[in-house]
Structure 1
Amino acid sequence: METEAKIFIRNQLNPGDLGQIAALHGRIYAEEHNFGLGFEAYVMDSLLEFYRQYDANRDKVWVVESEGKMVGFLLLMHRQDEQAQLRYFILEKPYRGMGLGKKLMEEWMEFYNEKGYKGAYLYTTSGLDPAISLYERYGFKKVSQMKSRNFGVHLLEMLYRLYPS
């Protein structure tokens, strides 16, 4: 198990990061949830959307590295009507369960509050219970769900929203 001293979180994207983020998602979701190649392509497409509309005053990334290797990621993406979207929250298996997810969520919420967003949302799927539990601890509430066969597997896709308190 890695120690926290070996983990570094940076808040800027570097050349090569977009491909690594997509590859991390593609590999982990294939290994752990049997998602097909279409999921990695979806992540690549939407990362391009993020890059093209990136605004340093309203958007933020958390790139988690250990010994120079990307082992996790999270971003806050601005949306219309002063909304934020939480996207691409992922950690390699050896880095789970050590409080790193909680630290990332705390930093995400801090930035969200600092920027004065009026609400936030995220999409997730069944089978990601630890992540869902974390989202709910930070005030996200499930508002809808639908069955799909996206990414080559049967899924229950869920929309969670964070409302102003």
Structure 2
Amino acid sequence: MPIAERRLYLHPIRDASRHLVRELGFMGSTLAGTDLPPSAVHALIEIGDRQVDTAAQLCTVLNLEKSSVSRMLNKLIKAGELATQPGERDARERILRLTEQGRQTLAGINSFAERQVLNALDILPAAACADIAAGLQTYAAALRAHRAGEAAPVPETEIVSGYRPGFVARTLEMHMQYYSRTVGFGAFFESTVGTALADLAGRLSHPLNETWSALSGGRIVGSVSIDGESLGDNRAHLRAFIIDDSLRGSGVGRKLLNRAVAFCDERGFRETHLWTFKGLDAARHLYESLGFVLAEEQQGEQWGQPMTEQLFIRPHG
């Protein structure tokens, strides 16, 4: 994503991050209803969940210096929250384990934190809860990846066919999120695309039509459809191809298009058409890699502002 686009999200994310830190109690000297500092609470959680079991691993996970982790662990051991035992492969390595007291402390921490989260989610609609869970996980993973110098993580997705509840609304939302930001489309574009999607949704039960959704955590994060009726003359129309901003460059778009193209081949269409806009170079490269060829360009204002539309055609057989 270009830096100009990233900056659109900069201040909202920073503001939300500060509020999270404050509301969750990280500004205080203790955390989660305990008399422990935040680093110690996080250490107990990671050790208790068996995500880490050595001081070295804890340094990496908590992003703390070795000396800080060493002092914190010594205090937890002295307080009776932690114990150490020799490693199975190397007796010199000290394995960290919670004591019975530590397990009780962790249970209290988890209970406190769960109440905080559930109380907040209780006043939100279910769709917002799903968005928050997916967004926070992706953002946190991206922060970790940048610190470690790794590639950006790709959320787990699955491609499913057929109508799903929310197909029209979610596909339209992803279109508007992208095109309002990159092109400046507004209400006219939203109304036009929404009408077309609603019409297509009513015909998805017909054998020449199909749609595919990319799902992450049960949420639609990508979509593409084939309309095998509207063009006639044994031609298919590839429509409503879009993926969530968080998945651009992840390969999910190619997986969706592969399913759509395979469907057209299986149904024996003579050719497949798709319309797009000039300047969307990443999408054009993807289309051409799958056999689509630019067949026509035309100027138009049917989307609410002057645009150069492009027709790509993929012959079959």
Question: TM-score when scaled to structure 2?
Answer: 0.48
**Which residue type is aligned with residue 158 of structure 1?**
Q
Equivalence for 2:154: 3
Separation in structure 2 between the aligned mates of residue 47 and residue 28 of structure 1, nearest angstrom: 16
Within the alignment, does 1:49 sit opposite 2:199 as a pair?
yes
Deviation sequence 1:137-165 (CA, Å, 0-9, x none): 11111111111234343311111112234
Within the alignment, does 1:102 sit opposite 2:102 as a pair?
no
Q: Tell me, which stretches of 5 or more residues in structure 2 are unaligned?
A: 1-151
- The answer to whether the Cα contact below 8 Å between 1:2 and 1:95 also exists between their aligned partners in 2 is no
- The answer to whether the Cα contact below 8 Å between 2:154 and 2:247 also exists between their aligned partners in 1 is no
Moved over 4 A (4+): none
Equivalence for 1:15: 165
TM-align CA RMSD:
1.8
Residue number among 18, 25, 30 corresponding to 2:175 in the alignment? 25
Residue 2 of structure 1 and its aligned partner are, at CA, apart by 4.4
Residue 56 of structure 1 and its aligned partner are, at CA, apart by 4.3
Separation in structure 2 between the aligned mates of residue 15 and residue 71 of structure 1, nearest angstrom: 13
1:127-142 matches, cutoff 5 A: 127-142=279-294
Residue number among 214, 236, 240 corresponding to 1:88 in the alignment? 240
Equivalence for 1:72: 222
- The answer to whether the Cα contact below 8 Å between 1:37 and 1:151 also exists between their aligned partners in 2 is no
Residue 14 of structure 1 and its aligned partner are, at CA, apart by 2.3
Structure with max Cα Rg: 2
Separation in structure 2 between the aligned mates of residue 58 and residue 65 of structure 1, nearest angstrom: 23
**Which is strand-richer, 1 or 2?**
1
Identical columns (%): 27
Residue 102 of structure 1 and its aligned partner are, at CA, apart by 1.7
- The answer to whether the Cα contact below 8 Å between 1:143 and 1:161 also exists between their aligned partners in 2 is yes
Q: Tell me, which stretches of 5 or more residues in structure 1 are unaligned?
A: none
Larger RCO (CA under 8 A, 6+ residues apart): 1
Residue number among 264, 281, 293 corresponding to 1:112 in the alignment? 264
Residue 88 of structure 1 and its aligned partner are, at CA, apart by 0.9
Within the alignment, does 1:163 sit opposite 2:315 as a pair?
yes
Residue 59 of structure 1 and its aligned partner are, at CA, apart by 1.6
**Which is helix-richer, 1 or 2?**
2
Deviation sequence 1:43-74 (CA, Å, 0-9, x none): 11111221233344222211112123221110
What is the SS of the residue equivalent to 1:134? helix
1:142-153 matches, cutoff 5 A: 142-153=294-305
Question: TM-score when scaled to structure 1?
Answer: 0.89
Structure 1 stretch 66-75 or stretch 149-158: which is displaced more? 149-158
**Which residue type is aligned with residue 261 of structure 2?**
M
